[in-house]
Amino acid sequence: MDIPTTLIGALALGFALFTLALRVTNPAKLKKHERLQAVLGDKGGTIVHGVFYIGLPLAFGGFCLVSAFRGIALF
């Protein structure tokens, strides 16, 4: 198991889950989400924010953790 890859993966997953929880419980604290909605509209801003601040970190964190547990050092 590679420690740096594990830590980076865990941090990415933590960021994505924290952002998701904050978006569900208190979306007023997410200023970037509000700005994206102002520029792209409600639906477009929500989709873009979900993909870039939740979807990609979840996928990257999962990939890093799977790689680390398989013994592959990414960093």
pLDDT by residue (tens digit) across 31-72?
Answer: 999 999 999 999 999 999 999 999 999 999 999 999 999 999
Per-residue pLDDT, 70: 94
CA torsion angle 22 25 26 32 (round to 10): 40
Break the chain into its structural domains and give their ranges.
Answer: 3-69
Taking the C-alpha atoms of residue 19 and residue 52, their distance in angstroms, rounded to an integer, is 11
Per-residue pLDDT, 53: 96
Burial class, 68, CB count within 10 angstroms (exposed 0-12 / middle 13-18 / buried 19+):
buried
Greatest CA separation for the chain: 44
